[in-house]
Amino acid sequence: MSAMNWTQYFIPTSKEIPADAAVPSHQLMIRAGLIRQVGAGAYTYLPLGYRSLRKVEAIVRDEMNCAGALELLMPALHPIEWWEKTGRVEAMGDVLLRLHGSGDDWRTRTVLGPTHEEVITEIAKAYINSYKQLPVSLYQIQTKFRGEARPKSGVLRTREFLMKDAYSFHACKEGPGGLDETYQKMYDAYCMIFSRAGIPYIPVEADSGAIGGDASHEFMVPTDAGEDYLVQSEDGTYAANLERAEIHPLEDVGGEATKPLDEVHTPGMTTIDEVSTFLKCQPCGMIKTIIYEVEGEPLVALVRGDHEVNEAKLARAAGVTSVTAAEPDLIKKLTGAEVGFAGPVGLKARMIVDQAVTLMHDAVTGANKTDYHITGVNPGRDFEIKESADVRTAVEGDRAANGSPLVFKKCIEVGHVFKLGTKYSDSMEAKYLDNNGKPQSLIMGCYGIGLNRIMAAAIEAHHDENGITWPMAIAPFEVVICALDMRVDEVTSLSNKLHDEMTAAGIDVLLDDRDARPGFKFKDAELIGFPIRITVGKRGLADGIVEVLLRRSGEVHKITPNEVVAFVTKQIEEAMKNERT
């Protein structure tokens, strides 16, 4: 049993708030001596921080094993050919990190893996030949590399991070052994993981994005440091990523066309703000005309001036995989005007009208003529509504499909599960023989968790003005013993004894044996956030007791030294149970 003494450990705490850290988790992780930045989006986990990360890892591993997944380890170096096969060299662009060698050097043909669908699919292709081998789930906990354009918020968004990625292979979607079954098992395992880690998570419907696939959920942790938004219905029956959230159609509050079309001079006014201010109308009385390009053809989306086009919804409504904003040249050619004056009246292109626009009367929009807008525009009267759909992003005041009001929360994504289908097995020709001896594409699922994000999200969710208030399950140490005066033999000998007894009992305990004043030790203990602090000092010893302080609640228990192990063991057990989310 090796002693865990502070003076032998490596804990560079700091009073100063690091200048580069903007969010609480980042500030606290640096101040508590958990991490140190190496470069943008790259961090060293110092011994204390790594202990915590390893505890997160252990929980993830445990739950994945319980879910029947098998651990393996894939390399970070991938042949670029595999990525070319799935079309993701282009799809991922600069996010895919490449090595640069001279000429046709192996480096030129190698990328650093940002995720492992290609590598795992190749394994499946090589070894899975028969439906009898299915289903199978494989996972790894491994470092990922991504060329993030803008790393930020400490370890919440980095270029290198620890991820658990799991992949499942199936012969069918439904029924025993099917994708749906494993997807649900993984979903449940994720809930267990985040619950055990003590972070407040919300599973939401998600967009599957460029990775492809047909169903997906994200696990979100509400925090101001996040970069996504989720929406929840007030009745609690619906939660989705804002990008994805479906909206109850707006009610038709009546009204009718009262004005004729009228062209107005709006020199140089190309934004909703400028035009609405100039014409003294509300943005919600304007029609925004956004022109996209799909396979060389223009696609026009109409939304209300105070709404934003949701490109994922638009693509779905248009029945295409993705839409891209049109180049200015195409816009000028189509509208016959400079960019900023497009409108639906007389526009000859496929047009998808947002549901909210269909209810508008006497609206203002671009005139397809430079420096002019038109007023008195009425959908249906002045332009035909051939296609109408929900193609906008939800805003405050919208309701969920069931009519319940939506509430918005800023959040960070800590996990994501996808039903991939055959996207990768098709492009990499990973087939098995079914029970008729016919080759079939493997049906796949993939499941990711950001371990560093769990750690940071836990701190975002659990801190106070004095420091971190770790969940017991992932605290670097469960207990710190503050030996208040190292010159007093009774204090040191009892502290050492308690340390040894607790260590023997399997408790993660650190003994603060520094020759420092009490306040100094207390501040450090609070900053680092040991869930339990045991204070051994002359004052208590005179009464034959030590103090046990619970970091979260601030509760103090005065107990005799021989009760400590049993008491602390019980506190840890209860915390592990009660802190579940």
Phi-psi region of 204 (alpha: psi -120 to 50; beta: other; left: phi over 0): beta
From the list 25, 27, 37, 137, which residue makes contact with RNA (rule: CB under 7 A)?
37
**HEC per residue, 385-442:** CCEEECCECCCCCCECCCCCEEEEEEEEEEEEEEEEECHHHHHCCCEEECCCCCEEEC
d(CA 240, CA 580): 23
What's phi and psi for 51, nearest 5 deg?
-60, -45
Residues near 101 by beta carbon (within 8 Å), at least 6 away in sequence: 107, 108
425 makes contact with RNA (CB under 7 A): no
> Residues 502-531: x/- map of binding to RNA (CB under 7 A)?
-------------xxxxxx-xxx-xx----
By C-alpha distance, which of 558, 491, 490, 483 is closest to 522? 483
Shortest spacing between CB 235 and RNA, in angstroms: 28
Shortest spacing between CB 541 and RNA, in angstroms: 7
How many residues form the binding site for RNA (CB under 7 A)? Answer: 61
> Residues 395-424: x/- map of binding to RNA (CB under 7 A)?
------------------------------
227 makes contact with RNA (CB under 7 A): yes
Residue 39 or 249: the one with the smaller Cβ distance to RNA is: 39
319 makes contact with RNA (CB under 7 A): no
570 makes contact with RNA (CB under 7 A): no
The interface with RNA within residues 244-303 (CB under 7 A) comprises none
Question: For the chain, how far is it from start to end, CA to CA, in angstroms?
Answer: 34
> Residues 166-205: x/- map of binding to RNA (CB under 7 A)?
----------------------------------------
15-29 burial, b at 16+ Cβ within 10 Å, e below that, comes to eeebeebebbbbbbb
439 makes contact with RNA (CB under 7 A): no
Could you tell me what percentage of the chain is helix, strand and coil, using 3-state DSSP and rounding each to the nearest 5? Answer: 30, 30, 40
Residue 199 · residue 580 · CB < 8 Å: no
From the list 3, 80, 89, 91, which residue makes contact with RNA (rule: CB under 7 A)?
91
Neighbours of 66 (CB within 10 A): 12
17 makes contact with RNA (CB under 7 A): yes
19 makes contact with RNA (CB under 7 A): yes
Neighbours of 425 (CB within 10 A): 23
329 makes contact with RNA (CB under 7 A): no
540 makes contact with RNA (CB under 7 A): yes
Shortest spacing between CB 410 and RNA, in angstroms: 11
466 makes contact with RNA (CB under 7 A): yes
> Residues 469-498: x/- map of binding to RNA (CB under 7 A)?
---------------xx-x-----------
Q: How many residues comprise the chain?
A: 581
22 makes contact with RNA (CB under 7 A): yes
448 makes contact with RNA (CB under 7 A): yes
150 makes contact with RNA (CB under 7 A): yes
By C-alpha distance, which of 276, 449, 267 is closest to 341? 267
From the list 46, 97, 171, 211, which residue makes contact with RNA (rule: CB under 7 A)?
211
- Angle in degrees, CA 21, 461, 574, rounded to 5: 135
What's phi and psi for 286, nearest 5 deg?
-115, 155
27 makes contact with RNA (CB under 7 A): no
What's phi and psi for 561, nearest 5 deg?
-55, -40
- Binding-site ranges for RNA (CB under 7 A): 13-20, 22-23, 37, 39-41, 91-93, 95, 114-115, 144, 146, 148-153, 163, 208-212, 227, 448, 450, 466, 484-485, 487, 515-520, 522-524, 526-527, 535-541, 547, 549
